[in-house]
Amino acid sequence: MPADSSSPVPSASDSRTLAWRVAAGAVGLSMIVLFLAWPYQEWEFGYRMSVLGGWFKWVSKYADWMFCLFVPVITGGLVWLRRAELRGIPWQGDWLGAVPLVLGLFFYWVGFKANTGYPAFLAIQLMLAGIILLIGGREWMRALFFPWLFLFFAWPMQPLEDSVASPLRPRTAAMAATLLTILGTPAQNEGSALQSTPDAAAGLELGAAFSLDVDAKCSGINSLFVLMMISALLGYLALRSVRGRVLLFVAAVPLAVAGNVVRLLLLAFGSMWFGPDFAVGKRIGDHQEMSLYHTMAGFAVFGVALAGMFALCWVFEGREMKKNLARHQKAGRSTADWLVIPLPRRTITQAVAILVLASLTFGICASTDIRYLVARAGVTLSMPLQVDGYQGREIEVQAKEKKALDEGVKLVRFGYLNEKGRKVIASVVLSGHLKRSLHRPEVCLPGQGWTIVESKPVSVPAANGHAFDTTYLRIFIDQMDEDGRRYRQRGVNLYWYVGSDDTTCASHYEHVAQTYLHAIFRNLNHRWAMVSVFIPVEDAEIPGPEGMFAEFNALEDAREFAGKLMPLLTDPEKIAATE
């Protein structure tokens, strides 16, 4: 029987529309379910939330990272600027896109299993790259590469704070001290502390005119990430040269430091002219209340950095910047076809592959055991009354310290003294039954008024013959005696982490990494303990030339004490007796 000539025959336009709808549906459904609907991790709020829901709530909570909220909007604007070019690029999907797509889905599962969001941020980036390649093809990826790369600024990289801020702090203070001295105001720095020099003729002690500490908030870290974002965006819009864009992006770091040096100069002169309370603010307990002048001085960071960025742009391409900006504005006047899909069936197949892979990942996550069954503690809280030649007794933990601890965290502290008069304070902080319940000494100590001058890894030989790594902090705090005279209390501090299976870690982020790796691949949830050994060192503890070795001797005593204390804390019989 002959076919009915009146029956409709699918046109090329209908096939393209179907392919577009299937692709949009597959991509949209996959991303919505995985990143917007599925309860992914607990974040800091005690209950599981989706990746984007938790990201929005976390970023909104911390002012330093609120700029991340604007990144997706800016990224969308960058894509919109290239809409005319994208209209003319055909959808020639490349199966190579399956590689970053599958890798992104793997990281999604890793973060879900480990209950942390950072792998999910990487998963979003990899999945977007995979989707663009798989559906659009390499030309689409080339056109959208910068907006895709720019989206990385949306994710708060809190672990980078220490690694980036720590080396910036003493350098910022040293540069400010040099400039103040050149300007006729002698100053000196020790680590991140910036102080006026003593003046015997005027009866001024060290730090009498001004005393500043370049903490993380004044080191450039708060402004560094947002300035890097601005430099990347400005370079993309105003410059054509790849070299110029890279140089402008790299220059964001020294420009942020330069801005913070200017900020320190303003605070130093403000302290001398109007007093520290006006310039810096009042310290109430462990909290530093910033003054209005201090807050306004912070804008100098952006003023200096932005001025430097525009100056560099002018040096690189001068008057061509206006033409470069104009080429983006003209991008919307093209009349090219809005949709070019040469092979609709292949596009539909690739879209279905995305949906299948996402569904498979969803099923794997749903069947993954995410119960948090914490292992036993790796140390005992029964501190020994004697460690070699040291006699000890318990030091009562202050109420404000207990209040600062997370729920379930336990703290025990002992003071020790040997026949030579060496004082040692040893503390054990045992985490609760929730992850990330131990605070970092690099945060707690500055919050208590201590300045960290130096931080480095130090190996400790244990009494049982097994060496372990620790982090050494050289610290000091300026205090007032009963007569109102300023004196400096120094100290050396060793700290390390002990896991549930004799695992030891020297630093906070190392123990965080071990937490996630062991939870994923060994199904082991550590109940970590942080052990700290602190030895106070008075400036005048050893008079004469030998005084310069006081901190070195204290460090060696701390290493020896820690090595003898460790086997006593990790004795299996004592741990079992206290459970």
Q: What is the pLDDT of residues 216-270, one digit of tens each?
A: 555 555 678 889 999 999 999 989 888 999 999 999 988 988 888 898 899 888 8
Spatial distance between the Cα atoms of 396 and 193, rounded to a whole number of angstroms: 31
CB contact burial 279-288 (16+ within 10 A = b; e otherwise): bbbeeeeeeb
Q: Single out the residue of 380, 362, 558 nearest to residue 470, CA to CA.
A: 558
Q: Single out the residue of 404, 450, 447, 464 nearest to residue 429, CA to CA.
A: 404
Q: Tell me the mean pLDDT in the region 177-203.
A: 82
Spatial distance between the Cα atoms of 429 and 441, rounded to a whole number of angstroms: 11
Q: Between these two residues, 447 and 451, which has the higher pLDDT value?
A: 451
Spatial distance between the Cα atoms of 191 and 288, rounded to a whole number of angstroms: 20
| Under 8 Å between Cβ of 59 and 43 | no
How far lies 277's CA from each of 196, 217, 261, in Å? 16, 18, 20
Spatial distance between the Cα atoms of 298 and 63, rounded to a whole number of angstroms: 14
Give the chain's mean pLDDT.
84
Give strand pairing partners of 456.
472
Q: Single out the residue of 488, 459, 489, 486 nearest to residue 471, CA to CA.
A: 459
Q: Between these two residues, 411 and 541, which has the higher pLDDT value?
A: 411
Q: Is the pLDDT of residue 290 over 50?
A: yes
Confidence of residue 287 (pLDDT cuts 50, 70, 90): low
| Under 8 Å between Cβ of 51 and 124 | yes
CB contact burial 8-35 (16+ within 10 A = b; e otherwise): eeeeeeebbebbbebbeebbeebbebbb
Could you tell me which residues come within 8 angstroms of residue 407 by beta carbon, excluding any fewer than 6 positions away? 432, 434, 437
| Under 8 Å between Cβ of 356 and 385 | no
Spatial distance between the Cα atoms of 256 and 223, rounded to a whole number of angstroms: 7
Other residues' Cβ atoms within 10 Å of the Cβ of residue 559: 19
Spatial distance between the Cα atoms of 213 and 215, rounded to a whole number of angstroms: 6
Q: Single out the residue of 445, 464, 444 nearest to residue 453, CA to CA.
A: 445
Sign for the CA dihedral angle at 192, 195, 198, 204 comes to negative
What does residue 488 show for φ and ψ, rounded to 5 degrees? -110, 120
Spatial distance between the Cα atoms of 173 and 181, rounded to a whole number of angstroms: 12
Spatial distance between the Cα atoms of 123 and 131, rounded to a whole number of angstroms: 12
Q: What is the pLDDT of residues 253-262, one digit of tens each?
A: 889 888 888 9
User: Which of 120-124, 335-339, 518-522 is modeled with the greatest confidence?
Assistant: 120-124
| Under 8 Å between Cβ of 212 and 267 | yes
What does residue 540 show for φ and ψ, rounded to 5 degrees? -105, 25
Other residues' Cβ atoms within 10 Å of the Cβ of residue 85: 14
Question: Residues 14, 20, 24, CA angle at the centre, nearest 5°?
Answer: 150
Q: Is the pLDDT of residue 400 over 80?
A: no
Q: What is the pLDDT of residues 72-113, one digit of tens each?
A: 999 999 999 888 888 889 999 999 999 999 999 999 999 999
How far lies 422's CA from each of 174, 204, 390, 458, 552, in Å? 33, 32, 9, 21, 14
Q: Is the pLDDT of residue 288 over 70?
A: no
Confidence of residue 498 (pLDDT cuts 50, 70, 90): very high
| Under 8 Å between Cβ of 544 and 507 | no
| Under 8 Å between Cβ of 470 and 504 | no
Q: What is the dihedral of CA 58, 64, 65, 70, to 10 degrees?
A: 120
Alpha carbons within 13 angstroms on the beta-carbon side of residue 56 total 8
Q: What is the pLDDT of residues 508-565, one digit of tens each?
A: 888 888 888 888 888 888 889 999 999 998 754 444 445 557 888 899 999 999 999 9
Say what the pLDDT of residue 519 is: 85
Q: Is the pLDDT of residue 21 over 60?
A: yes
Spatial distance between the Cα atoms of 128 and 358, rounded to a whole number of angstroms: 13
| Under 8 Å between Cβ of 24 and 355 | no
* pTM check: above 0.85: no
